Every structure is written in C-alpha cells, then in structure tokens.
Chains A and B, each alone.
Chain A
Amino acid sequence: MTDVTLTTARQRPFDPPDELAELRKRGPIHRMTYADGHRGWLVTGYAAARAVLADPRFSNRPEHMHPPIPARLELSNELREHEFRLPPGFFLRMDAPEHTRYRRLLTGQFTVRRMKQLESRIEEITEACLDRMEAAGRPVDLVEHFALPIPSLVICELLGVPYDERGRFQDDSKVLFALDSRAEDVVGAMTRISAYLYGLVQRKRAEPADDLLSGLVAGGELNDEELTGVAFLLLVAGHETTANMLGLGTYALLANPGQLAALRDDSGLVDNAVEELLRYLTIIHIGPVRTALEDVEIEGTLIGRGEAVTLSLPVANRDPERFPDPDRLDVTRPAGGHLTFGHGIHQCLGQQLARTEMRVGYPALLRRFPDLRLAVSPEEVPMRSDMSIYGVHRLPVTW
C-alpha cells in the first residue's frame, strides 16, 4: 500500500477532508510520508488516537518533530537555521516531568469551580459585545463583534493584560497561526510578543494586581523568561481557540436550523450542545504530532522508535465505533469523550474556561438575535483552511 499524506483541503466546510474519512474506513493507523520525507504514521481511529495521546512513550518535544504538511517544511528548516528556541516556560512542547512543574503552577487557576465563578463576568462581557454588535447595525461580521472579542477580553482580564494594548500582539498572533507565514515573520512575531509580555511581567512586579500573571510573579517559582513563556502560551491559546469555536459553531448552527432552534428553545441542552459542537467541528485540524521514544505497539501496529505519529482529531472524532452516525450534528447526543481538547498530560488547560465561554456565548447570541442568519451565500464564507486552527475568517450575519 502506498503511503498517505495529510491533506487539509475540504470538500464541505464542516466535514474533514474526504480522503481522510475514507482512510479511517480502511483502518485506524496508516503509513504517512511527512513533508521532509520522513516515513511515519497517521492515526484516524478514535481508540488509537486516544492511546497514543495517553502514552508517555510518545514525546511532544520539538527537537523530534517532522513537519506533517508541506507548508510547515520551509518553516521548520528555516527555524533550525536561525537556531530558534521556544521560550523557556512554553510547557506545551515539554514532556513529563519538566512539563508537570509548569502545569502544576497553573491548574489551580483553571479548575471547574474557578471557571464557573467567572461565569457572571463572562455574561457581562458577552452582553456588552452584543450591545455593540446590535448598535453597529446589520449586516455585521460576527467574528469581529462576537467570536473574537469575547475570549480575547476574558483571557486579557484573567491574565492581567490591558485589553487596549491588544494591538501589540493580536496581529502578530495571526502570523503564528497562518500556515503560509514565512519563518522570518514567525520569528519576528514571536520576538515582539515575547518582548511585550516580558515588559508586562516587569510591570506586574512593580505594580501587582488581582490577576493570574501578578499571582505567578508573586509566587516566585518562575524566573522572568519562564513567566514570559507561560504568559505567551496562555494568551495566544486563549485567543485563537474559543474565538474559532464561537465563529464556526455559530455558522454550523445557522447551517442546521433544526439544531439551532432546539438549542435556542431549550436552555437545558446547552452543556451537551457545546460538547457536540466541539466534537463535530474539531477545529484542531493539523496534528497534534508525537514521536515514539521507543518501539510501541498501538492496535497491533508497531510504531518504531523515532517515528512520528500525526493524529487526525477531526476524523477520530467522527469514528462511528465511538460516535454512532458521526457525520450528523446532533445537540442531543451524549458527545462527551471527544478528543477536541486532546487527551493525556497535554489535554487543554483552558478547557473549562472555553466551555464556560461557549455555554454563555451561544445562548446569549440566539436570545438577542432569534432570527440570526447569514448575510452572504454559504460559498462566500471564507474558511480558515489556511490556518493551523480551523474556523471562519469572517462570518457576515444579519437579523
């Protein structure tokens, strides 16, 4: 059998590429050729993806990495030439026990209880965004007025980043997530965001406030470079993820009016609807990628030491063995257990915050604009196939 490659080109906006869905029908694990010629693996089955993510014999460290798609090849080569290093404290790309030390300092801040305590503040922020959206007059871009500002305001407030300084990192953040960004632009963007956050750490030390970053500074466990790396990760991850779920989730509901009506008319469905939208849309569409540190057998396939494994989460979350009739959006199905936040030690730190933002956001939007609809034809909605996190670039809506 010939090796496969990871495609990102979709036939329909909400479904993973047909080639990948076809692969899953043939089996859970496939030989895959990486952009640098490396022969590794692609996982399309739910159980296999979960097994890899939970297994400490697979590493997430960047020095093992092979680029799964061509757009990342030039970038990874150039970053190597620049001897680029991730900031210390960027614990997403660490293994245990190094990773554990950083994560432990933060988990207490992101508990289910803490995030529920933020709910009323998130409601205020959401209503204020909806006020401005209504005042702007139809049609408006839902991303600009709703999907982006809500998580952005929330993470800025939580971390202690002044929202009116978002110009210092929001455009640079886009460069980091664009698949066609040049290496020098990525390095420039990372350097500028880091410099801004390093300065912010100094300001928090001089004038502590009641926010997460001030708390970490006062805790004294991390040096300024590590604090900068941690703040970088939280700020960027807190921005681009929920923003895309709010935008793409709204689009999916508009495209499935029966599901939209069910959620609008029954507030008891919201927790489940959020899980189902997370599963159905799986906005992490390239990777994660792991590397075997030793020979590991997964579902009868031997993954050799040093071989890369790419997990297609959108396809794994459509595995009919785990989710019956998987290609149907059904806000009433028990959708828990999806892999959208990952699995294993790197499972999303901010997932309870994201859930709260969505639990508040979708119903508030549908209450305010019960007749919300697309202001353009579906073909005109620009999809984020060119970004490492999937979603909509813009969503013109009217009411």
Chain B
Amino acid sequence: MKIKADTTVCIGAGMCVLTAPEVFDQSEDDGTVVLLQPSPPADQEAAARRAVGLCPSGALSVVP
C-alpha cells in the first residue's frame, strides 16, 4: 500500500494525524500534511486507510 499527499489542497484540519499519527504529521509552518510513512507497515494500513477516508479536502489518496 502506498499513500499520496497533495499539500496544495490540504487545509490542515489534522484528521489524518489524529487517526494515524505514525503515518502522518503536520508541518509546523502551515499545518499541512507531512507523510511520515508513504508506504505504511501492515499494522498501520487500516488506520492509514481510515485517515484517507476522513480527509476533508481530498488531499490524501491510496495509490493503487
């Protein structure tokens, strides 16, 4: 599984960090998403997928 983050549409709501803190972080400058693990380990996949689904701005996607 691979995750893509588009920081140009990210609005820094923080849902991804709240949901999968080991996969996502937020930039100190503008709060936009920082991808800590673009290919999350198996035990993080479910949380990462939930975070992608919760993202309000559509900044996150799962690369097929």
Q: Which positions in A face B, CB cutoff 8 Å?
A: 53-54, 100, 103-113, 336-337, 341-345, 347-349, 351-352, 355
Instruction: Say if the beta carbon of B30 comes within 8 Å of chain A.
Output: yes
Query: Which size class do B's interface residues fall under?
Result: 20 to 34
**Can you name 12 A-B pairs with beta carbons within 8 Å?**
A104-B32, A107-B13, A108-B28, A111-B31, A112-B26, A113-B17, A113-B26, A344-B56, A344-B57, A345-B56, A347-B15, A352-B18
Query: Given contacts A112-B18, A348-B13, could you give 16 more A-B pairs where the C-beta distance is less than 8 Å?
Result: A53-B56, A54-B56, A103-B11, A104-B30, A107-B26, A108-B12, A108-B26, A108-B29, A109-B31, A110-B14, A111-B14, A111-B28, A112-B26, A349-B12, A349-B13, A355-B18
Majority SS of interface residues in chain A? Answer: helix
Report if A345-B28 is in contact (Cβ < 8 Å); known contacts: A54-B58, A112-B17, A352-B18: no
Max chain A C-beta neighbours (<10 A), residue from B11, B17, B25? B11
* Chain A residues whose C-beta falls within 8 Å of the C-beta of B31 in the assembled complex: 104, 106-111
Instruction: Say if the beta carbon of B19 comes within 8 Å of chain A.
Output: yes
Instruction: Say if the beta carbon of B53 comes within 8 Å of chain A.
Output: yes
A111 contacts B17, CB within 8 Å?
A: yes
In the assembled complex, the Cα of A27 lies from the Cα of B51 at a distance in Å of: 28
* Chain B residues whose C-beta falls within 8 Å of the C-beta of A100 in the assembled complex: 11
- Contact partner of A345 among B26, B27, B57, CB < 8 A? B57
B12 contacts A110, CB within 8 Å?
A: yes
Closest residue of chain A to B56 (Cβ to Cβ) is A347
A220 CB to nearest chain B CB (Å):
15
Max chain A C-beta neighbours (<10 A), residue from B19, B32, B57? B57
Instruction: Say if the beta carbon of B54 comes within 8 Å of chain A.
Output: yes
